[in-house]
Amino acid sequence: MMKRVAIVFLMALLLVQGIFAGKAGAASSFTDIKGHWAQQQISELASLGIIKDNGKHLFYPQSPITRGEALAMLNRVFEHVYGPVAKPLRKNNLDYRYPSRWEIEQLLTNMKAMLQIETGVPIDYDPGDRMLYYLHIAESGQLIKKPEKENPDWWLSSQALQREMTREEATMVLFHLLTPQIYRTANIKPQDAPAFFTSYYEWKQESYYRDTYSPYATAIREFHLFSSQTTLQPDKLMTRAEYAVVLKRLLDYYSKQVGLQFTGKAEQSQKVATAFIRAANLAGEKKDKAKMLYYYTQGAVASMGKLPRTPLTDDLVSVTTKVDETDNRKLWAIAEYKTGLNSGYRIEYRMDPDATTPFGRKIAAVIYSQ
């Protein structure tokens, strides 16, 4: 019996590594990148499952990246570090015929959830919605700028998503993905966030780049995703190799930020713990034990199965954190859940150091209370 349990556990560990690490360490199967200047970045992203093989074993590094593929790959970078932090919702302005639509919709909800975690309150600004809208604006041949009047019935077609992405469009997309980090350094109140981000659409923010008035590249300049700090070449098409390098830099930034937040000030520790618990809850809601092993130890998974109720992401109200009294390397995240107008419960999660996940932690113990 014990042998069978051990085999099942080993299989689960192998499966979760495949799901979240994208078969990390596997050699790239692309035959057209040998000796290419971006070979290392392309190979690493491919080994993580962020870049997928089309079955032909060709990456086409010098070909332009399409908008839809660029968005799907952004979500894979995000989820490689954080996992999904929100349930995907159908986006009516997005063409349902686009093959990777579900990945884009997942990206949109992840973006909105992360900005809400950063601000601490719901705000009247949806970065994913605005990102798609301004891709729609670019598709119509206009400047990526706030028009005098917005069409409420705008539509981003499958054809538009399959078109090639310019470097300016890429900076606009990354600007929206990084709104939580931009908000964090802007030193503004949550209620001022919509007006702050709208000022970029109105091009009221100064551009540091000599060849464009567009402010999006300037807004993400501090993240060092693009090599040049003075010129953008905004109308140039973004090649797949160039985009892979940007994604690798973004992945490195996210991975570093997670560690800094967990070891930084209490406010940032609370925010990254909230993202962690949201992602863990989604895995638990689906009863996907393989994915749960990314967030929980085996013992904690067993403990979660004994709780009176399954914690749901939609019921999560707040998360606070505190350092364990006996071991300052361990962190407690106290999550409050609401189940009715006047009812709820609390789960305390002990998050221990664990180098096998991008978060650098796993939930090792849980305490449930009404």
109 assigned to some structural domain: yes
Q: Is residue 346 part of a domain?
A: yes
- Claim to verify: residue 67 and residue 173 sit in the same structural domain: yes
Which H or E run contains 73?
helix 67-81
Is residue 71 in a domain?
Answer: yes
- Based on the domain organization, do 233 and 321 belong to the same domain? no
d(CA 369, CA 334): 11
Residues 97, 243: one domain?
A: yes
> Which of 64, 19, 58 lies closest to 244, judged by CA?
64
Q: How many domains does the chain have?
A: 2
Which range of residues forms the domain containing residue 321?
290-369
Q: Would you give per-residue pLDDT tens digits along the chain (370 residues)?
A: 444 444 444 444 444 444 444 444 344 689 999 999 999 999 999 999 999 988 889 999 999 999 999 999 999 999 999 999 999 999 999 999 999 999 999 999 999 999 999 999 999 999 999 999 999 999 999 999 999 999 899 999 999 999 999 999 999 999 999 999 999 999 999 999 999 999 999 999 999 999 999 999 999 999 999 998 789 999 999 999 999 999 999 999 999 999 899 988 899 999 999 999 999 999 999 999 899 999 999 999 999 999 999 999 999 999 999 999 999 999 999 999 999 888 999 999 999 999 998 899 999 999 999 8
Considering only CA atoms, give the Rg of the chain: 21
Q: Distance between CA atoms of 110 and 310, rounded to whole angstroms?
A: 21
Which helix or strand (DSSP H or E) is residue 351 part of?
A: strand 344-353
Q: Both 107 and 158 in a single domain? A: yes
Considering the domain architecture, whether residues 160 and 303 belong to the same structural domain is answered as no
The secondary structure of residue 30, as a DSSP letter, is: -
* Helix pair 127-139, 101-119: axis angle to 10 deg: 130
Q: If DSSP codes are grouped into helix, strand and coil, which group holds residue 365? A: strand
Residue 365 sits in the same domain as residue 246: no
**Global pTM value:** 0.91
CA atoms within 13 A on the CB side of 327: 8
d(CA 162, CA 160): 5
Give the whole-angstrom CA distance, residue 336 versus residue 346.
Answer: 5
